């Protein structure tokens, strides 16, 4: 219990510092546009250092489930271009998501599993059997809140390594879309300009495809076994 209380205190302190320093005010589209020239000067002066600091800040923001991941993804495109921006965000977002996942698991899973043991049996069995496919589907569809997936999946029995690599693979398409939008930062008027209804539909179809394919293969195997 002492370890959990200490972790809660650290998380609350970091969140409080984030807001007391008004860092959330900088993670807006308007501020990003205004600071783009200054960021570009820093990157040109020390590209490796700026890239590492940017990745570290991204990990902290996502690991603490603080708002700003979308703006940072756009910033990665504006600062580092499509290729390096995608590489940096892909790894930083996956590491941050896994940290948030582990925090949720450490603080909440035992209580949730104990409190709702009977109701969660079927969910646990489903996650053990098809957890990677469900997670992949959730990660492919960017309409599901990033932080909420981290918290909820931390309450399940999915493995940490599985969570990491499936998240990285599943988020790659949406990451590339947002980073690419960041390379055209001057043309963006709002975050709604990034994802069109057609693009969202494409992500949804991509998300449900693995589940449908999995169920189809299972049906074929069952059909052949009972012929």
- Output the pLDDT for position 38: 81
| 3-state secondary structure at position 137 | helix
DSSP secondary structure of 168-200: HHHHHHHHHHHHHHHHTGGG-SSGGGT--HHHH
Reported residue count of the chain is 227
Angle at which helices 160-183 and 197-225 pack, to 10 degrees? 150
Nearest Cα to 66, choosing from 110, 140, 16, 8? Answer: 16
Mean per-residue pLDDT pooled into runs of 10, the chain (227 residues): 76 77 68 77 89 93 85 86 93 94 84 64 66 77 77 85 90 83 65 54 57 59 59
CB atoms closer than 10 angstroms to residue 18:
18
CB 136 within 8 A of CB 211: no
Helices (H), strands (E): how many in the chain? 10, 0
Dist. CA 80–CA 196, nearest whole Å? 24
Angle at which helices 160-183 and 117-140 pack, to 10 degrees? 30
CB 32 within 8 A of CB 71: yes
- Output the pLDDT for position 154: 85
Range of the domain at 106: 2-225
- Output the pLDDT for position 220: 53
Number of separate domains in the chain:
1
- Output the pLDDT for position 224: 55
- Output the pLDDT for position 190: 55
- Output the pLDDT for position 121: 66
- Output the pLDDT for position 156: 83
- pTM of the complete model: 0.76
- Output the pLDDT for position 35: 74
- Output the pLDDT for position 180: 81
Alpha-carbon dihedral 153, 158, 160, 164, rounded to 10 degrees = -70
């Amino acid at each position: 219990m002492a370890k959990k209380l200490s972790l809660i205190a650290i998380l609350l302190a970091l969140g409080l510092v984030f807001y007391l320093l008004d860092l959330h005010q900088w993670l807006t589209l308007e501020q990003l546009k205004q600071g783009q020239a200054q960021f570009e000067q820093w990157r040109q002066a020390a590209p490796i250092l700026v890239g590492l600091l940017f990745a570290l800040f991204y990990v902290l923001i996502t690991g603490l489930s603080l708002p700003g991941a979308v703006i940072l993804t756009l910033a990665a495109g504006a600062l580092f271009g499509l290729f390096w921006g995608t590489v940096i965000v892909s790894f930083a977002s996956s590491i941050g998501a896994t940290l948030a996942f582990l925090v949720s698991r450490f603080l909440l899973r035992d209580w949730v599993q104990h409190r709702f043991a009977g109701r969660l049996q079927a969910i646990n069995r489903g996650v053990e059997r098809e957890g990677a496919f469900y997670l992949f589907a959730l990660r492919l569809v960017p309409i599901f809140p990033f932080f909420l997936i981290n918290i909820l999946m931390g309450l399940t029995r999915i493995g940490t390594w599985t969570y990491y690599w499936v998240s990285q693979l599943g988020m790659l398409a949406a990451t590339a879309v947002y980073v690419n939008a960041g390379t055209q930062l001057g043309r963006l008027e709002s975050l709604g300009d990034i994802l069109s209804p057609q693009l969202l539909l494409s992500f949804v179809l991509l998300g449900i495809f693995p589940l449908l394919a999995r169920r189809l293969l299972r049906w074929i195997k069952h059909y052949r076994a009972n012929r």
